[in-house]
Structure 1
Amino acid sequence: MPDTNNVDPSSAEGSTGTATRLPLNWNAVEDMLTNSHSGQMFSALNERFLDAFEKALASDPSRREEYQVWKDEEEQDGERGGSLTFFSEAMAWSLVSNGKTAEDLTDPQGEWLEEVFEVPVDLKNDLESCRTLMKSYIEQGKITVPSEFIIDYKTITDDQALLATRDKTQAAVEHALKSRRQWATVAAAAANHDGETAS
């Protein structure tokens, strides 16, 4: 397996400087995302955050509507072109909670699927839309995580260190969901105020 994390588009035989991309293969994608230790750790942290986020939604009866939106997006994503708003928000929470910033959504660093692999246009559009939403949430200040809940994925040295940060992930998830509820309260109050003003 070639080092797809650092593919030089102009290195292919007969290249004229045009990007030479690999056929899309999900095993190769996983290899690309985890072919460095820090990549492996971030991938593990991200997966753990999203799993905990979904479980927290599913286990809280008061979040039944949110969980349904989450599942609806999951089903729509399988058809491509569906809404990824909630998923993008969760990904932004995970990104910041695990030590990355909006800048990581600007520079591919050889980690974007469409930079390395040939991907269908609709998938490429989904990926770009997701990153745009994530970056917007972070830059607008909607996604902020207390420093004590942030895990620097680059400092995770082994599985034991990964396990030791489990409580931080849970705290970050709880913070994210609490923030969502506060947003909803503020939005509802603003809507009521606008309605009273209009009447």
Structure 2
Amino acid sequence: MLCILIQTSIFGHNQRHFNNIFRVMNQFCVSAQIFVFSPFILPSQSNLKFTQIQIYSVLTLKRTLNGIRPNNANEYVFAYVTGHSAKNGLKFMYKEYFNLNFFFQLFQNNQMVLIVDSCYSERIINGYQSKYNKHLYISSAKKNEESYAAQMDEFGIYQSTWLVQELMTLKGNITEFVGKWNAQIAVRGNVEIARQFFSE
């Protein structure tokens, strides 16, 4: 399995985003080949072996992802993308807006579970369920709503997001998560992919 974790924000008050990278990694990527993408090197919170790649632009993200895509169409891809969004797309370092069209195209032949954890994230996954029936897409917010932070520390900095906190509460079971929270989150694609993913 290929595990791709992308964190697009900067500054200390966004600590929840890179905390979530390691929570998701430790839960879902135990037996995977792991790649972490971030504008800065993240302090490791995992005993798992992973490759960390510093990216400074959307262009470098695209180029690097293209270099790691699997040759085997039967390989599962688990992906988690976190950061800030506006209604016109994901934000990269507060400088660029982008969507995930290139991502979907790169992995169109693979069975994939993709989680987008950001505000307005339903906009990012909309339209792909009819294109790629090998994929399951989950977003943390509807197209016109913000996503929610959780677990504020004593300094007033949020340590997690609602989506990841709930996934951890359910022991990472995405199938159960989708069934429980379908009214609050956006789900697109083939839920059966998640069942196959967790039965491996």
**With structure 2 as the length reference, what TM-score do the two structures score?**
0.35
Task: Report which structure shows greater RCO (CA 8 Å, sep ≥6).
Answer: 1
More strand by share: 2
**With structure 1 as the length reference, what TM-score do the two structures score?**
0.35
More helix by share: 1
Greater Rg by CA: 1
